[in-house]
Amino acid sequence: MDTQNGKFVDCSGASAPKLNLWPSVLISKEDIEAEVARLADGPTPANGRRASLIVHPNAREPGLGLAPGIRVTLSVLRPGEQTQPIRHNSTQVDFCIRGAGSVMVHGRRIDFGQYDVWNTPSMAPYWYMNDGYELQVRLTYSNAALLEKMNVHIVDDDPPLTEGPEEAPEAEAGAQGAGESPFGTFQLNEDGAFLMPYERLINPTAVASAPLHWPWQRVKAELDKLAALGKDYVGRRLYLLYNPATGRTNGTTQNFFATMTVRPPRIVDRPHRHTSAAINYYFAGSGRSTVEGKIYEWKAGDLMLSAPGWGVHNHASYDEPVYELTIQDQPLNIAMESLLWQESLQQPMKVLGAQAGFATNRKAGGN
């Protein structure tokens, strides 16, 4: 192998480059339906996966996505079809937009219907089945695009079909293996800096990551209660589909949150911005979004990169209620301490997760 040498790039006195935001893009219901029909009419692939990536025009290999770190895949299964098992170190949020079916994830079967959401943990073997009588159509959101940029997306097309997630064995109190550091983790100075030995570095505290299911009808029953909040309410009428394994980062997976939102008729959000990118799928109603000064009109069945990271944006509903699924890479940004958020352009930005966040004018309630 030829030796490769690094190089120096002098950046003395240089200013940071200006952000080059990807523009918002809208994929219409009609275009989605046309691609669904094309996928369904083709021969069955050997692995059973009829799928197309939905790619932003600015995306470049490696790591094609609808946002720089978010891949969106449109998948179709005809009645009676089943995909081959697969696993990978990317995590996923799945959303059924048409039909129904089931998925096996790490030994658990999830039966899903239209507008249900579920997650797939890292390296969990999974496969989909269409055991119904109509076409099954899904949108899958994953961090595969980011991992491909990092050149570490590991995919196993022939995984062992384990019964469920493995549990890490508990270490015996006071146990010390041969050659193990006797000092453990300890505080180095009064500033709060610590030192941690190699044994703990390669054996961090394990947090179980399970496949979870959010059935639409149960979510909608809770969501509709938020529609009664008056027009004076400052905030968005939504629920995070929360996975407790994500802890303080408020995620559905460790990378993304998925929120379900209801917008009553003729509601206009305040302009705001955040470094997390947002992708919306609208499945009822219609309205408009203003992103970096440009207006985009949308309707039920449209998919939209509704907020590139740090782009100023707001949304408005027209004459009927709007329901939407939003995917953002907020948990990743919280973990990286990079989630800048400006809830109102008249307020200063904050680092959410490291600083106190924002409040609405809603009185404390049971939910």
Q: Which region among 73-87, 160-174, 253-267, 336-350 has the lowest average model confidence (pLDDT)?
A: 160-174
For the chain, percent of residues with pLDDT exceeding 70 = 93
| CA separation for the pair 282, 322 (Å, rounded) | 7
Q: Identify whether the C-beta of residue 76 lies closer than 8 Å to the C-beta of residue 51.
A: yes
| CA separation for the pair 277, 69 (Å, rounded) | 8
**pLDDT tens column, 306-316:** 999 999 999 99
Task: List domains and CATH numbers for the chain.
Answer: 26-156 (2.60.120.10), 216-344 (2.60.120.10)
| pLDDT attached to residue 320 | 96
Q: Identify whether the C-beta of residue 323 lies closer than 8 Å to the C-beta of residue 260.
A: yes
| CA separation for the pair 225, 178 (Å, rounded) | 59
**pTM summary value:** 0.92
**pLDDT tens column, 106-139:** 999 999 999 999 999 999 999 999 999 999 999 9
62: cis peptide before it, omega within 30°? yes
| CA separation for the pair 146, 70 (Å, rounded) | 7
Strand, helix or coil for residue 216: helix
| pLDDT attached to residue 95 | 98
What pLDDT band is residue 236 in, cutting at 50, 70 and 90? Answer: confident
| pLDDT attached to residue 331 | 97
Q: Identify whether the C-beta of residue 110 lies closer than 8 Å to the C-beta of residue 103.
A: yes
| pLDDT attached to residue 234 | 72
One-letter amino acid for residue 339 of the chain:
L
What pLDDT band is residue 181 in, cutting at 50, 70 and 90? Answer: confident
